[in-house]
């Protein structure tokens, strides 16, 4: 079968391979791939700066944003033809206390594994296998949009933690600032609007689909320097990882705000430099600045609710390019108007 594979740690090694059928040990459910989303993590793995192959192997099958159709459910209770998404992370074998209770997204010893990222083959292949408890059935009516579930779970977890942190004191948040209008930022804005927030989204681009999608949500789009927006958000979801934007967000944040970081650090962009002092802002304003990664099964449930409630035509516009597996390299290189690019293996 076809699979997009890569040698983690070596740039330029991604290729469309012919590989053996998935190993039985990966799970009793056999799934035919419909679509696989591409995200920044995949680009990083393909560029050699992230990722780990399965033990004893040189190459890793890429892909963690899955959508597939069950071809053999085994004893899972799923039916042939069900659409499913695979959970990405597996608990560490020790296991740590968090992994032991199913909160593997909070693994404390780093021994977790991740499909398509860390030591387990991913989903960019004609077929994959999965353990029944890591296969999440998605509403058939979502069709191809089911491929948006995994990134939605990442944001659903971030929002759950924001709410949990907010319970530390009396808190009535209203203004939400999302920094970065990529898929994670736009899905974070969707959830913010569903929660009834006054949502603002900041990105570099000044025209095109991103501003339109933000306005269509009933949120407000901004470009330009963050300090000049005049906003004092109660909640910030930072999706770029750019250091000066993190500092700017903390400086603008209202007292008692919660600032959630979802983007891994990227090199400091030339520009405003360090205007603010993160420690001073955080202390004097009782801020919580925290990071959020991955998602557990509870967040897949929540993410599916978010997608079910969302406007389908809005979600459809998040997918800006669909490419066949043969053109995987074009999917791994970013184009200016890209939001979510998916590899289409079969028709949803
Ligand atoms: C994935 C997460 C994963 C993280 C770090 C993200 O792109 O969505 O599931 O935990 O990368 O590997």
Per-residue pLDDT of 119-172, as tens digits, reads 999 999 999 999 999 999 999 999 999 999 999 999 999 999 999 999 999 999
CA of 293 to the centre of ligand 1 (A): 6
CA of 33 to the centre of ligand 1 (A): 20
Query: Prior bond to 95 cis, omega within 30?
Result: yes
Q: Is the pLDDT of residue 273 over 70?
A: no
Q: What is the mean pLDDT of the chain?
A: 96
CA of 294 to the centre of ligand 1 (A): 5
Which residue in this structure is represented by tokens 């960019």?
124
- Ligand 1 atom closest to the CA of 150, numbered from 1: 8
Supply φ then ψ for residue 341, to 5 degrees.
-105, 135
Rounded to an integer, the average pLDDT of 200-204 is 97
Distance between CA atoms of residues 346 and 69, nearest Å? 10
Q: Is the pLDDT of residue 30 over 90?
A: yes
- Ligand 1 atom closest to the CA of 105, numbered from 1: 10
Supply φ then ψ for residue 73, to 5 degrees.
-80, -15
Structure tokens at 126: 């004609």
- Ligand 1 atom closest to the CA of 50, numbered from 1: 12
Q: Helices marked H in the chain — which ranges?
A: 40-46, 97-100, 149-166, 183-194, 209-217, 243-252, 278-284, 297-309, 312-318, 328-331
Q: Residue 231, Cα to own-chain centre: how many angstroms?
A: 26
DSSP state for residue 268 in the 8-state scheme: P
Distance between CA atoms of residues 216 and 210, nearest Å? 10
For 38, 187, 225, 249, the CA distances from 244, given in Å and listed in that order, are 26, 23, 11, 8
Q: Whose CA is nearest to atom 6 of ligand 1?
A: 41
Site residues for ligand 1, CB cut-off 6 Å? 39, 41, 64, 88-89, 114, 117, 150, 154, 293-294
Q: How confident is the model at residue 348, as a pLDDT?
A: 80
Q: How confident is the model at residue 277, as a pLDDT?
A: 87
Structure tokens at 299: 């967040």
Q: Whose CA is nearest to atom 10 of ligand 1?
A: 294
pLDDT digits (tens, 9 = 90+) for 212-266: 999 999 999 999 999 999 999 999 999 999 999 999 999 999 999 999 999 997 6
CA of 41 to the centre of ligand 1 (A): 7
């Amino acid at each position: 079968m076809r699979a997009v594979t890569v040698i983690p740690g070596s740039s330029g090694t991604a290729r469309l391979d012919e590989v053996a059928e998935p190993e039985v040990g990966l799970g009793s459910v056999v799934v035919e791939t419909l679509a696989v989303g591409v995200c920044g993590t995949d680009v990083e793995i393909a560029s050699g700066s992230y990722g780990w192959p399965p033990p004893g192997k040189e190459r890793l099958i890429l892909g963690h944003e899955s959508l597939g159709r069950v071809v053999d459910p085994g004893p899972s209770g799923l039916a042939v033809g069900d659409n499913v998404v695979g959970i990405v992370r597996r608990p560490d074998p020790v296991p740590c206390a968090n992994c032991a209770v199913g909160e593997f997204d909070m693994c404390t010893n780093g021994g977790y594994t991740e499909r398509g990222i860390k030591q387990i083959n991913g989903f960019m292949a004609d077929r994959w296998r999965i353990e029944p408890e890591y296969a999440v059935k998605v509403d058939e009516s979502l069709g191809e949009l089911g491929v948006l579930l995994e990134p939605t779970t990442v944001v659903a977890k971030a929002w759950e933690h924001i709410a949990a942190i907010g319970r530390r004191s009396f808190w009535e948040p209203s203004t939400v600032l999302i920094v970065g209008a990529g898929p994670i930022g736009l899905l974070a804005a969707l959830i913010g609007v569903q929660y009834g927030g006054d949502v603002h989204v900041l990105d570099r681009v000044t025209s095109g689909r991103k501003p339109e999608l933000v306005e269509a949500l009933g949120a407000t789009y901004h470009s330009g320097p963050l300090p000049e927006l005049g906003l004092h958000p109660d909640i910030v979801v930072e999706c770029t990882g750019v250091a000066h934007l993190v500092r700017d967000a903390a400086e603008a944040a209202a007292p008692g705000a919660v600032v959630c970081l979802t983007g891994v650090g990227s090199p400091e962009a030339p520009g405003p430099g360090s205007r603010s002092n993160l420690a001073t802002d955080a202390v004097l304003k009782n801020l919580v600045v925290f990071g959020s990664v991955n998602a557990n099964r509870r967040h897949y449930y929540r993410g599916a609710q978010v997608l079910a409630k969302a406007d389908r035509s809005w979600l459809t516009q998040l997918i800006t390019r669909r490419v066949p597996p043969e053109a995987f390299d074009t999917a791994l290189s970013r184009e200016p108007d890209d939001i979510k690019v998916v590899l289409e293996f079969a028709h949803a």
